[in-house]
Amino acid sequence: MNDVPTPEDPDDRRIASRDLDGTRPLEPGRQVPYGHVLHAAALLGRSPAEVVARLTALGYADIQGAGVPLPETVALDDAALTRKKNVSSFTHSWIDVSEPVSLRQLLETAEQFRRGPAHVARRLTALGYRMGGAGPLPETPDPRDVMLIRVDARGEGNWLRWGDEVSAAQVLDVSRRLSCSPHAAAARLASLGLRLPYTPGADDERLLGTGDTGAGRWLGGSVWPTVGHVLAVARETGRSPQDVVDRLKVLGLGMPDGSVPGSPDDDDLVLLSENLDGCRPWLRKDTVVGLRVEHVLRGSLATGRSPASVADRLAELGHRLHEDAKLPEAADEADIRLLATVDRSYRKGVRLEKVLRSASLTGRSPKDVAARLTALGYDLVDEVEYPDVRGTPATS
């Protein structure tokens, strides 16, 4: 390793120092990075060729080149783009001009300087760098770009590269991690030159949105499409229910949690809505305890159908009552108020204290409550004689 004397000229000392501040000199015999040359030229207002000449004169023979003619001038803002992100203040680390710029590096640089990926790619190319991919890039910056191309969130992570194909499941996963619309994530990934198994469509945002807030705002993960969601989207977009189901499958989602009718009844959306108003939130299929009798009775009053007709239609749509449930011939508000106080499913028996609680909340006698629950199919666990005494209904 050759010793290089300390330059007397202040500019030469800066050119030959690691941090371009005249202090720690570059290591003799070690290649001078191309980014160092560009940054020195920008800081001192010289051409890169002049910087190379000075370094050569100072004894630095191995100076990295881009394999193309040096730019005549370098703006400081452009030179800053050649420095890697998150580098310690004690050393400079430059993008290697001998290798194509990776998609990750491009997006990290764009994020660091709040520039659009297309702008950064143009400026680096003008300085002699080669992009690892071709094709148009977005002009607008997006702080989520770097995380969009991160495949594995654990540890150091794995990163998508130029031209990689992103699966529909990956789109849903990354949108969930970033709390953004899967459609927005897909459109941005496509604009970054990544390949998708589908082309983002104008209706996708509506198809994927649940209307809720927080983690459940978009379908995906543990939030799967309901029959009510499919029918509502079909009505709003003018598509057929089957077309909506097919598109959701393309977007990486499984089948709805029930049976989607080819020709929906006029009151299907009312029956499938939790509040029986034809609007979300939509009824979700419960394969453990089954459909609540209370919902059937409320649906009967809302639509004018008999409880049996409501239960039959909901069964056709994939929502079935528990096998032990018994429906009355007609819906009664008193039954609905009673069932609203029962927090036990048909899979669990109703104990004495639960009967007494329901009696207290409804103002009915425990004997009346026990008899009515039995008529509705509930199993009363305690073999006791329930008192036929009415109390005052509780206010809460």
3-state per-residue secondary structure call for 140-197? CCCCCHHHHCECCCCCCCCECCCCCECCHHHHHHHHHHHCCCHHHHHHHHHHCCCECC
State the pLDDT at residue 328: 97
User: Does 88 or 387 have the greater pLDDT score?
Assistant: 387
Asked whether residue 48 carries a pLDDT value surpassing 80, the answer given is yes
Mean pLDDT of 11-32: 92
DSSP-derived secondary structure letter, 100:
P
Question: Is the distance from CB of 228 to CB of 273 less than 8 angstroms?
Answer: yes
| Residue 213: per-residue pLDDT | 59
Task: Report whether pLDDT(208) > 50.
Answer: yes
Helix H segments across 219-306?
Answer: 227-237, 241-250, 268-272, 293-303
Which position has the token pair 């073999």? 383
pLDDT in tens, 271-293: 999 999 999 999 999 988 999 99
Phi and psi torsions of 35, nearest 5°: -60, -35
Omega before residue 281 within 30° of 0, cis = yes
Give mean pLDDT, residues 325-339: 97
Q: Are 306 and 300 in contact (CB under 8 A)?
A: yes
Encoded tokens for 51: 């910087």
Q: What is the pLDDT of residue 33?
A: 96
User: Are the C-beta atoms of residues 189 and 171 closer than 8 Å to each other?
Assistant: yes
Q: What is the pLDDT of residues 111-126, one digit of tens each?
A: 999 999 999 999 999 9
Map residue 135 onto helix, strand or coil.
coil
Higher pLDDT, 181 or 393: 181
Across residues 57-84, what is the average pLDDT?
95
With CA atoms as reference, report the closest residue to 15 among 80, 92, 7, 76. 7
State pTM to two decimals.
Answer: 0.85
Q: What pLDDT is attached to residue 395? A: 55
Cβ–Cβ < 8 Å for 115, 146: no
pLDDT band (50, 70, 90) for residue 157: confident
Confidence of residue 214 (pLDDT cuts 50, 70, 90): low
d(CA 23, CA 7): 11
